[in-house]
Amino acid sequence: MNSRSAARGFLAFLLSLPALKGQPGWAVTYTSKDVCALSKSTVDINCTFKFPTTSGNIPNNVSPVEYTPLWYTKGEKDEPENLKEDKAYGDRIEYICEGLSCDSSSCNGMCTLRIKELRKEDSENYKFRFITNTVKGKYSGVPGVTLSVTDQVKVSFPSSTDPTGENMECHSMCSPVGGFKYNWFRNGQYEQQGMYYKVNINSQDNYSCAVEGYKQLRSPLVYAPRTPSVTVSPSGEIVKGSSVTLSCSSDANPAANYTWIKEHEDSGGRSGQNYTITNITSELRGNYCCQAHNAIGHHNSTCFFIEITSSSQTTAVAVGTIGVLLATILLLVFLWMRTKRASRTSGQGGRPDPMELLQH
């Protein structure tokens, strides 16, 4: 084979290859490479595309030029799986594609993938592929568009120096161009619009926010701590020299922090949900209260009184209890024996009255 024949063969091989990314005249351009959307909402992923009306200087001679759109997340770019055939999407998928605009050298088009009722599992990388009725007219736009689906709308608390109120901020994990508009709710009822809301310290109400138009996707409720409860371990009498742990808990969001205070003490309290007192002495006797507090407010518990019992008192009480128990047992045994003796006597000369037995 001479060099001219080899060149012709190589050219024929190139013309037989499918169109690849980067080949002159072929392109898919996405409006954005990353898209974030709220679950249960609808999202549009847009792209434009173009391809030449000639293949290797050979006119396609197809009129009118037509194409078949295809969006995919699975499979290779030359053998992708059409989203419309994916049961996970069902009728939530829609292709909105315009007709081609062609001139003597190229054709241009637009196509949108619309996904309704978004789910978190829809978070994927989406790519567009088109197949034309021209010679070797196939092309996939990679790497595609990454979609992130979230339902996370949250309330945060920027630092504040106002002792009477606290600023709350509503924000979403998504940050779309232009941002979202937010609505605020107090006790489930609409209050106002805006990213920020000022709440009075120690308000007993609850608050939430949502992206405008998606009130069903509200943030978790935030509220000041409810009345804390106190438990003690071990339960029962507290003996001098022993240890005891007080625990405090409260329903709150944001989660509460805790401070323990002993009544009639000027010194600062101790922080922590649990407060352990070791080697208890009579000086530690008294009322102990906990305060639950968060950014919105605080609430105090009912105080728990620690009464100290000495070990000698405990021993005396225990001995006294044992003595009473033994005396009761002896009395029962004595009565049983008297009853048994009376039964023998009645077998010989008549049955006696039980009341008489007890009076002897």
pLDDT tens digits, 208-217: 999 888 888 8
Residues in Cβ contact with 64 at an 8 Å cutoff, skipping those fewer than 6 apart:
100
| Cross-strand partners of 269 | none
The CATH fold assigned to 17-150 is Immunoglobulin-like (2.60.40)
Topology at the third CATH level for domain 229-309? Immunoglobulin-like (2.60.40)
Same CATH topology for 17-150 and 153-217: the answer is: yes
Domain range list for the chain: 17-150, 153-217, 229-309, 312-359
Q: Which two tokens stand for residue 96?
A: 């909105």
Burial of 274 (0-12, 13-18, 19+ CB in 10 A): middle
Could you tell me if 198 and 184 are in contact, meaning their C-beta atoms sit under 8 angstroms apart? Answer: no
Residue 200 predicted with pLDDT over 50: yes
Determine contact, residues 291/299, Cβ cutoff 8 Å: yes
Instruction: For the chain, give the mean pLDDT.
Output: 81
Q: Which residue has the tokens 């003996």?
A: 239
The predicted model gives 49-68 an average pLDDT of 71
| Predicted model pTM | 0.60
Residue with tokens 């037509």: 66
The CATH number of 153-217 is 2.60.40
**Which residues does 243 contact at the CB level (< 8 Å), separation at least 6?**
276, 277, 278, 279, 280
Question: In angstroms, rounded to a whole number, what is the distance separating the alpha carbons of residues 149 and 152?
Answer: 9
Least confident piece of the model among 89-93, 157-161, 265-269, 311-315: 311-315
* Amino acid symbol at 207: Y
153 — pLDDT class (breaks 50, 70, 90): confident
